[in-house]
Chain A
Amino acid sequence: MPDNTFKILIADDIGMMRSTLRALLAGYGLKNIEEAVNGEDALKRFTVTRHSLIMLDIDMPKMSGMEVLNEIRKHDHDTYIVMVSAHSSVDNVKQAMAQGVNAFVVKPYSAKKIEAVLQKFAKDRNISLKEMGNV
């Protein structure tokens, strides 16, 4: 890790959802968290910061999570993107996965689910979940 921390972006138009996620992630020691209020904002912020992990809501104004995903995946395949959606339909998930989503979380999510996703992310980066909070 060059700067020793994972930069994380939470993109959700509902403020409370952002706060919840931020709190949950903070619970694992993750601090370098940025928030985006819609898809466009998310893409703009990503272009500047190049986050390692993005929690991306699908239903957002201006630009949907799927659009943001497509934009990012055009050039970047390293960023770990977790789709967050209230729709758990198989087709939805399959489509997102086909377009390069690394994990999919359905709202409402429990801390356990977020943990599973973080576990997967940590495994992807070859470190343990515990280490992730400490780096």
Chain B
Amino acid sequence: MGRPARAFLPRTASGRAVPYQEVADTAESYSANPVMAAGVMLPHHGAGTTPPTWSRKARVNMDSTNNPAPPGTIVTDDWTRNWHAKIAIKITAMFMWLIILTAFGGLVYFTKNLEAEFTGAVSDELDGFAYNFSSILSAAPPESAEQTLITLKSAADDVLLHSHSNIKALTINVDGQQIHAGSLTPGLTISTRTATFMNDAKATKASVLLLEAAHKSPADYARSMRERLIMTVVSIVLALGFLLRWTIHNVLAKPFQVLMDATQAVSTGNLDLRLDVSREDEFGHLSRFFNQMLDRIRGQQQDLTTANSELLNEVAVRKQAEAELLKHRDELEHLVEQRTQDLELARDQALRASQTKSAFIANISHEIRTPLTPIIGFAEAMMNGLPHEEDRKRSLQSIIRNGKHLLNIINDILDLSKIEADKLEVERIPVRLQQLLADVESAVGVLAREKGLEFNIHYTYPVPGVVHTDPTRLKQVLMNLAMNAIKFTQRGMVSIDASYNPTMHQLVLAVVDTGIGIGPENLQRMFKAFSQADSSTTRQYGGTGLGLYISRRLSRLLGGDIELQSASGIGSRFIVSIDAGAIEAEEMLNASMEGLYPEETTDIPTTRVQGSVLLAEDSPDNQRLISYYLDKAGAEVAVAENGEIAFEMAMAGDYDLILMDMQMPVMGGMEAVELLRGAGYGGVIVALTANAMKEDRERYAQVGCDGFLSKPIELDKFHAVLSKHLKSADTAAPALTAPRNAELESIAAQFRDGLPNYIEQLNTSCTARDSTTTKALVHQLKGMGGAFGYPRITELAMTADASFRKALEDVAFEQALRLIDELNTVCATDLAEGGMRAGSTV
């Protein structure tokens, strides 16, 4: 390309065209490049240009397509301005054809008359010669004939010499005289002319001139001329052909080659090259489109590259995530495996526990059935009628004994289940050791003595006066061991030896007997649940086989253990050690101090009390039993069979004490107490429950219980509660807390004064069986009677009211009539006494 090289350089990756600049100098710097030699410009590093040779419009177009054209957009420029090449080629071709055709036409034209023309020309020339020669001859005087011939000769030579004529030789015949000029060569054609002239001035004598001219034959001339013309035309056509080829080469082939090379370069992946677009012909366009295409491809490739790298990144992230997932899966599998193992272990444990429980239940049911058999048997025997008093008594004793045994079994089982469930809690409160041991003695000593055994308590002084432990549990252990000792001892003695190990801070209590003892082979089994020395022992001595197991567990809970020393046939020694805590020397008891703490009376306190008690208890038997105790103590009892009834009675009635069972149907005691306290009930509520757990008691206190009694009822505690919350019957003075004033009394008087009115209304409504009015009246009386010191009125009104509410109208009217009776009585009494009753219970 002859123009200064301007390269259309690549855009930046972002697709933005950088400002263009002249890069003519780059042609040299890249001239070594073979592609460059083909007219392709390689990009200048970092610097892009746009072709300045482009028309402004086209450049604007380019600028407007700086951003990669959206897909589907066809990039064009102004075609009309770029037709030069096409026209040039067309004109060239046209002219060439014209020239060729003209040349051939001329050729044909000229060659057609060549012979005739030649013949004509020769003939004309000969005519001229003939005239000239005849003129010479006619002018010459006849005396100088000689001279005239010479003149003719030279004229002929001169003609031949100087003329461009085709005549090569001349022969002039004048009156027999011949003059030759030129040379006659073979192949020449002879043409002749004759002329007559006057050789004297008087024109009397005419002479004849014969001219013979030798010249080329017209055919030869035409042939040679034709050959020459053909040669010329062929030369011209050849020259034009070369010219055309050159033009085509420059205009078409070279740019095409450039394009080809570029395409090849692109196909090998070189997208950075750009074509020279300075040409204004189709190739310029093609190059521009090519460049644009490359731009697009490059842009797309960059996009692809970006997308690809993004994809690669994504793939990497995915792979990482996958790896993590795999890791997690492995971990999970591991975990699952571990869990499965744990579960299997737990299942095995559960299965074992279940088996143990099954065995336990089998044992228990056996243990329970055993005492039940005599109970049912003797009871049935008695029902059928035993004639002898002695038999009846023995049967009853048997029933009682077996019933107690049953109770023991159940207590043991409960303890056991608590122990197994780790629910058993022990207290640590100060306990007087001598008192505790005395309690044990009082309970089991009698049994020993009944059996003819000695029962002693030995102290190895010094022993602590007070130890910190759980007295109930310690007593339970000692009683159990002592009872066992008595059970398995036929003669001799049972004793409890108490001592203190100051280094270990342990209280040691050894229960010693002179009984059957235990062989060494059975020593280990003794403390297992449901095992006695052998099954025959069970048959002979009874027992649940739980006592020792429970005792050992309790001892351990108390911070110690039980050891067993025994010899078959000689006796056993169960050594209980418990944690007594560090005890100061001055707190230790010596022998001299024995009896310092007198035994407390174990008599059941039979305090007489007065007051009303609401007993909320669902079991009819417990209702009867506790009612009996309360009645014996002198309290009035009302019974509610569930929490809801208890609540309503407590709200409506007036009780000094509520004994509330915690487990009841419909509404439990807890809820009832909570509700009562919420409603502002201020009376004393004592919880009654078989749940002896500390946290239970705490919960009861939290909802508003003032105290706690465990079931089955321990009479001493029961009486303690009664005397604490009820007035003693001995101190009969009614300590009234309610205020009394004149106003209240006058209102009470008003109430009494209004009573006859009520009686009348009630009578009327009852007679008319007007339930609405009666109900309203009863309701009012119910609300007022108690408040004014007539609880009986309220009571009767309440029952009637309740019956009305239950739609038992007949009963209700009956009760209303009784209420009228009571009202009448009150009126009569009041009239008689004329006194004030208001406030007596208010």
A135 proximal to B (CB < 8 A): no
Contact with A along B774-800 (1 / 0, CB 8 A): 000001101111111000001000000
Q: Chain B residues with Cβ under 8 A from A5's Cβ?
A: none
Q: For B797, give the chain A residue with the smallest CB separation.
A: A108
Contact A108 B739 (CB under 8 A): no
Least distance between B175 CB and chain A CB atoms (Å)? 176
Contact B682 A119 (CB under 8 A): yes
Stretch at the interface among A23-31, A42-50, A63-71: A23-31
Contact A116 B744 (CB under 8 A): no
CA distance A102 to B767 in the complex (A): 42
CA distance A15 to B839 in the complex (A): 19
Most chain A CB within a 10 A radius of its CB, from B681, B738, B779, B787: B787
CA distance A101 to B682 in the complex (A): 16
Q: For B744, give the chain A residue with the smallest CB separation.
A: A23
A93-B680 in contact given A88-B648, A110-B841 (Cβ < 8 Å): no
Contact partner, B682, options A89, A90, A120, Cβ 8 Å? A120
Q: How many interface residues does B have (CB within 8 Å)?
A: 40
Stretch at the interface among B152-160, B238-246, B449-457, B747-755: B747-755
Contact B679 A97 (CB under 8 A): yes
A8 proximal to B (CB < 8 A): no
Q: Chain A residues with Cβ under 8 A from B754's Cβ?
A: 16
B381 proximal to A (CB < 8 A): no
Chain B, range 617-632, C-beta contacts under 8 Å to A:
none
CA distance A90 to B532 in the complex (A): 54
Q: How many interface residues does A have (CB within 8 Å)?
A: 37
Q: Chain B residues with Cβ under 8 A from A110's Cβ?
A: 654, 738, 786-787, 841-842
Contact partner, A26, options B743, B783, B801, Cβ 8 Å? B743
A75 proximal to B (CB < 8 A): no
Contact A108 B782 (CB under 8 A): yes
CA distance A89 to B801 in the complex (A): 13
Chain A, range 1-53, C-beta contacts under 8 Å to B:
14, 16-17, 19-20, 22-24, 26-28
Contact B680 A27 (CB under 8 A): no
Q: Chain B residues with Cβ under 8 A from A113's Cβ?
A: 654, 681-682
A117 proximal to B (CB < 8 A): yes
Q: Chain A residues with Cβ under 8 A from B784's Cβ?
A: 16-17, 20, 107-108
Contact B644 A120 (CB under 8 A): no
Contact A82 B737 (CB under 8 A): no
Contact A115 B682 (CB under 8 A): yes
Q: Chain A residues with Cβ under 8 A from B842's Cβ?
A: 24, 110-111
B332 proximal to A (CB < 8 A): no
CA distance A105 to B676 in the complex (A): 10
Contact A86 B782 (CB under 8 A): yes
Chain A, range 104-134, C-beta contacts under 8 Å to B:
104-113, 115-117, 119-120
Contact B744 A109 (CB under 8 A): no
Contact with A along B748-779 (1 / 0, CB 8 A): 00110010000000000000000000000001
CA distance A24 to B743 in the complex (A): 9
Least distance between B507 CB and chain A CB atoms (Å)? 46
Least distance between B802 CB and chain A CB atoms (Å)? 11
Contact partner, B780, options A14, A24, A88, A117, Cβ 8 Å? A14
Least distance between A58 CB and chain B CB atoms (Å)? 12
What are 23 A-B contacts with C-beta separation under 8 Å? A19-B747, A20-B747, A20-B788, A23-B744, A26-B743, A27-B739, A27-B744, A86-B783, A88-B647, A88-B649, A89-B648, A103-B680, A105-B679, A106-B652, A108-B786, A110-B786, A110-B787, A110-B841, A111-B737, A111-B787, A112-B737, A113-B654, A117-B680
**Given A107-B787, A113-B681, list of 5 further CB < 8 A pairs?**
A19-B747, A20-B747, A93-B675, A103-B680, A104-B680
Q: Which residues of A contact B (CB under 8 A)?
A: 14, 16-17, 19-20, 22-24, 26-28, 82, 86, 88-90, 93-94, 97, 101-113, 115-117, 119-120
A-B interface, 10 closest residue pairs, ranked by CB to CB distance from nearest? A116-B682, A27-B739, A103-B680, A107-B783, A111-B738, A104-B679, A88-B651, A108-B786, A106-B651, A23-B744
